[in-house]
A and B are shown apart, each in its own frame.
Chain A
Amino acid sequence: MITTETKTKLNPNQPRRETVPYWEKFEQFEKIAKDPEWVRVARKAGISHFVELGFPTLKDEDWRFTNVAPIAKLPFKPVLEPTRDGVTAEALEHFMFAGLAGSKLVFVDGHFAPELSSTVNLPEGVKVKSLAEAIAKGPAQVEPHLFHHARSDASAFTALNTAFFKDGAFIYVPAGQIVPEPIQLLYVSTAKEDGTTAHLRNLIVAERDSQVTIVESYVSLSDAAYLTNSVTELVAGDNAVVEHLKLQDESQQAFHITTLAAHFGRASNVLTHSIALGAKLSRTNIHAHLAGEGLECILNGLYLTRGEQLADHYMVVDHAQAHCDSHEYFNGILADKSKSVFHGRILVRPDAQKTDAKQTNKNLLLSDNATANTKPQLEIYADDVKCTHGATVGQLNEEAIFYLRSRCIGLETARRMLIHSFAGEIIDRVRCQPVREELDKLVWDRLEQDEQKTTGNK
């Protein structure tokens, strides 16, 4: 049901000019990749779709406010071999959520780094490992899910990822199992050249009645204009409880495109957070397919932008079954000349009676030159539903500042308190306590830096 512009079908042998280097690179890559047939087929389809679709442009309704021409102009350098010389556990320490004692997988430029990774306390049957290894050694749990939820034919970036991914995380939680400690996935970029691209591909499967928390962090040791183009497929089975958090803290030169393609089963409970702090341009796609009755999901998000950053969130919440609740809460704090985009599409299919879908997007502009674009989109084909959406774009509330000042709190402290509270509304929804606390500190420090910079410029 995702509408895309109809494009002229092209023969892959006569690709569009801009996609020629990608096609050539794919032919080289295919020779060295040792994939089973079903993966090869998917990759081939991926590159064909990419060549057909090409990079989206501002004329594409779903990309109206986000210009990816700078990505299209970059030389295309997918990282086909591991390059992790010099990356040590010590160098990564401050990127880790220190309060988490559970399993962690580290990927450097899209390649699994086993010597930096560890798994601990995994209950019977739970798998936390490299996806490439899982494809090679035990595809029975992978094949039914991989490529099924993130569709190559609808997105050029997903198509490109499918064609070129080297690795990513595979997390499998069997029915009824509870993973007590959150699982951490850390993606580090060490790119030395512009255009270096890591295509991470993750698959998370939480079978029925299981419970798991996953924290993904995208970080950087690089100053190059690199691209992260990753796809995570998440399957929450019937009655599963899943909390998923993505922290995007890429370098200020980086481009970051991710898709979370999620499939939720009957009576499941899923909480997902997207925290966008870094990157020159970031686009987070979240496609939530509400496939069973009586489930509840919260999509929660916070973006802080400064300088000339752009943070884009594109959400599709697809209510396919009755009695489901979906809530989207996204707050943004924008400084300098930065921009944000929020696109929230809620689709309520004819069978999805008694749907309760809520959406809020609030933007706080700290500068006159910042721009927030917000675009709710409701498509409702059932007649007994509750759907609400609300969006605000504004400055700090003067009345609230006066209220705090009248309670002895100085002007600067009052401003900070209100900015912090705006971020706090979102962070408070993180259930996992150590993650919430560290995230709160990270965001607070980042806001303080901005505040100092702003005050310094006056």
Chain B
Amino acid sequence: MTQPILTIKNLSAGVEGREILKGINLTIRPGEVHAVMGPNGSGKSTLASILAGRDGYHITGGEVVYCGQDLLELEAEDRAREGVFLAFQYPVEIPGVNSTYFLKAAYNEIRKHRGQPEFDAVEFLKFVRERMKILEVPEDFLKRPVNHGFSGGEKKRNEIFQMAVLDPKLAILDETDSGLDIDALQIVATGVNRLKRPDNAQLVITHYQRLLNFIVPDYVHVLVDGRIVRTGGKELALELEENGYESIVHGGAVPA
């Protein structure tokens, strides 16, 4: 079998003495789409944050191997340069930073990291316009300050646009569906699907099954109270939608 993109082994972590993740195991191979579903407070966003390198979490046990290297040893920016991308649940508005400038700086960091010459303004614009075409992103996304004054839908779309520019190996989508109407949801999902390739992978974190009608996962993991209590195929999401998390927590056979 090919080398996994991500292997999480028995990962335990928390904040200030409170344990949130209590032994997570997860393996993601190239070409796969994994969904992690779970109720509020189950640790979904903590998992995304820890993978992306957000400060403030204590790792109390286990390990995370990304393409053969210890992911937890890397700074957030180095993870991103190595191809880990987090689409934020709440993308941050940065007034005063022009989107083109920001994207060019981000993209050139990756090029530097790979030992490639940096793109100048003209080269970058040519490249970024091609990426925009794939996702049908409006031109003014480039001209406006990063996320500033964007609607909720525009912000999520901008996350996927950034994903298209940075071309990650592992994309983590943290509740990218939250707060979106059905049209915005379809646009975002279509974008994500267009970026799927046999050599990359996607980890979709969501509370609701709705997004998974559009981004079809190969595996669904149910996260409850910091543990993955069940793993199945895409039909597991539908079961959850019908019976709720309660049935799985209390009714199903919960592995220890």
User: A residues within 8 Å of B by Cβ?
Assistant: 397-400, 402-411, 413-414, 417-418, 420-425, 428
Counting CB contacts under 8 A, is B225 at the interface? no
CB pair A411 B96 closer than 8 Å? no
- Residue numbers in B under 8 Å from A400 (CB-CB): 92, 94
Instruction: Say yes or no for B91: interface residue by CB 8 A criterion.
Output: yes
Q: Does B53 contact A (CB under 8 A)?
A: yes
A406–B106 Cα distance when bound, in Å, is 9
- Inter-subunit contact B97/A407 (CB<8 Å): no
With known contacts A405-B80, A421-B94, A410–B109 Cβ distance under 8 A? yes
Residue A406 contacts which of B86, B96, B102, B113 (CB distance < 8 angstroms)?
A: B86
Cβ–Cβ contact A428 & B52, under 8 A: no
Is B124 interfacial (CB 8 A cutoff)? no
Determine the chain A residues whose CB is within 8 A of the CB of B55 once the complex forms: 398, 402
Q: 8 A-B pairs, CB-CB below 8 angstroms? A: A405-B76, A406-B86, A408-B80, A409-B102, A409-B109, A420-B96, A421-B94, A428-B96
Complex Cα distance, B49 from A403, in Å, reads: 11
Q: How far is the CB of A164 from chain B (nearest CB, A)?
A: 41
State whether B96 touches A421 (Cβ < 8 A): yes
Cross-interface CB contact of B80 among A397, A406, A417, cutoff 8 Å:
A406
B113 to chain A: closest residue by CB: A408
Q: Which of B76, B79, B88, B113 has the most CB of A within 10 A?
A: B76
User: In whole angstroms, how far apart are the Cα atoms of A406 and B51 in the complex?
Assistant: 10
Distance between Cα atoms of A413 and B109 in the complex (Å):
11
* Shortest beta-carbon contacts, A-B, top 10: A421-B96, A408-B109, A405-B76, A424-B96, A403-B92, A407-B106, A408-B80, A425-B96, A421-B97, A405-B77
In the complex, the answer to whether B94 meets A418 with C-beta atoms within 8 Å is yes
Check: B54 CB closer than 8 A to any chain A CB.
Answer: yes
Give A424 to B94 CA distance when docked, in angstroms. Answer: 11
Q: With A402-B54, A417-B97 given, can you name 5 additional A-B contacts, CB distance below 8 Å? A: A404-B102, A406-B86, A407-B106, A421-B95, A425-B95
Measured CB to CB, the closest approach of chain A to B162, in angstroms, equals 7
| Across-interface contacts of A418 in B (CB, < 8 A) | 94, 97
- Asked whether, in the complex, the Cβ of B96 is within 8 Å of the Cβ of A399, the reply is no
Which one, B75, B81, B92, contacts A399 given CB within 8 A?
A: B92
A398, A399, A406, A422, most chain B CB atoms within 10 A: A406
With contact pairs A408-B77, A421-B96, A425-B96 given, residues A403 and B109 touching in the complex (Cβ less than 8 Å): no
| B 43-79 to A, binary, CB cutoff 8 A, 1 in contact else 0 | 0000000001111000000000000000000011101
Residues of chain B having any CB pair with chain A under 8 Å: 52-55, 75-77, 79-81, 85-86, 88, 91-92, 94-97, 102, 105-107, 109-110, 113, 145, 162, 166
Which chain A residues lie closer than 8 Å to B79 at the CB level? Answer: 406
- Give B1 Cβ to nearest chain A Cβ, in Å: 30
Count A-B pairs with CB separation below 8 Å: 72
Which of A402, A408, A420, A425 is in CB contact (< 8 Å) with B106? A408
Chain A nearest CB from B158 CB (Å) reads 11
Question: Which B residues touch A407, using CB under 8 A?
Answer: 80, 102, 106, 162, 166
Smallest distance from the beta carbon of A333 to chain B beta carbons, Å?
A: 12
Q: A403-B88, A407-B166, A410-B109 are in contact. Are A422 and B96 (CB under 8 A)?
A: yes
Question: Could you say which residues of chain B place their CB within 8 Å of the CB of A425?
Answer: 95-96
| Chain B hits for A424, CB < 8 A | 96-97
Complex Cα distance, B72 from A80, in Å, reads 70
**Docked CA distance A414–B162 (Å):** 17
Chain A residue at minimum C-beta to C-beta distance from B79: A406
Partner of B77 from the list A411, A422, A423 (CB cut-off 8 Å) is A411
Asked if B76 contacts A413 (CB within 8 A), the reply is: no
Contact B53 A405 (CB under 8 A): yes
Hey, which chain A residues are within 8 Å of B54, CB to CB?
402
- Among B96, B105, B145, contact of A409 (Cβ-Cβ < 8 Å): B105
CA distance A406 to B86 in the complex (A): 7
B71 to chain A, nearest CB (A): 13
Cβ-defined contact, A397 with B109, below 8 A? no
User: Smallest distance from the beta carbon of B75 to chain A beta carbons, Å?
Assistant: 7
Does A410 contact B92, Cβ atoms closer than 8 Å? no
Chain A residues with Cβ below 8 Å from B81 are 408
Q: Contact partner of A405 among B75, B95, B145, CB < 8 A?
A: B75
For the complex formed, measure the closest distance between the CB of A327 and the CB atoms of chain B, giving whole angstroms. Answer: 15
Asked if residues A403 and B94 are in contact (CB atoms below 8 Å), the reply is yes
The answer to whether B77 touches A409, judged by C-beta atoms less than 8 angstroms apart, is: yes
Smallest Cβ distance from B197 to chain A, in angstroms?
Answer: 20
**Could you say which of A411, A413, A421 contacts B75, with CB atoms under 8 Å apart?**
A411
Shortest distance in angstroms between B127's beta carbon and chain A's nearest beta carbon? Answer: 15
Q: How far is the CB of B90 from chain A (nearest CB, A)?
A: 8
**Which B residues are in CB contact (< 8 Å) with A410?**
77, 109
- Judge whether A402 and B76 touch: CB under 8 Å: yes
Known: A413-B105, A417-B105. A406 touches B76 (CB 8 A): yes
Q: Shortest Cβ distance from A285 into chain B, in angstroms?
A: 27
Q: Which residues of B contact A402 (CB under 8 A)?
A: 54-55, 76
CB distance from A107 to the nearest CB of B (A): 34
Q: Which residue of A lies closest to B86 (CB)?
A: A406
Interchain CA distance A47-B80 in the complex, whole Å = 66
Bound Cα distance from A424 to B148, whole angstroms: 14
